[in-house]
Amino acid sequence: MRPHTLFDSGMAPERVPDEPYTPAAGTIASRAATDGLIVLEVYRRPCQTYGFRYVAWVAWRDAGGQAAGHGWWRTEREGLVTDEYQTACRVAEEHARANGVDLEPAWRPVA
């Protein structure tokens, strides 16, 4: 599979995560990429509509391009508003696939 296109390759991590992924407030389901570096989240807004976003393990680089640290980075919310959970999951999966993100087989509920 081709590399993902969610963010600039300059943010590509140089090591595996050493901090656990923590879901953001409102997240009701998550689905990790097969490499463990990206997590797709479906969340519910206070108005009871659903959307999706990504959390990625990235490298923060200095002006010289050297990795100055790593951390989990949450993308801006994707432009989806739906009142159906299944629609949010389907659109999120399609978006991930279109951007080269290979996902684990199943969604995991977030308590």
Say if CB 24 and CB 40 are below 8 A apart: no
Q: What is the mean pLDDT of residues 3-17?
A: 83
For the chain, which residues make up each domain, given as ranges?
9-105
The letter for the amino acid at 54 is Y
The per-residue pLDDT for range 13-22, each reduced to its tens digit, is 998 999 999 9
The per-residue pLDDT for range 27-76, each reduced to its tens digit, is 999 999 999 999 999 999 999 999 999 999 999 999 998 999 999 999 86
SS3 content of the chain, % helix, strand, coil (to 5): 15, 35, 50
Say if CB 66 and CB 19 are below 8 A apart: no
Q: Which pTM value belongs to this model?
A: 0.89
Q: What is the mean pLDDT of residues 93-104?
A: 94
Report CA dihedral (60, 75, 23, 86) to the nearest 10 degrees.
-150
Q: What is the pLDDT of residue 3?
A: 61
Say if residue 11's pLDDT is above 60.
yes
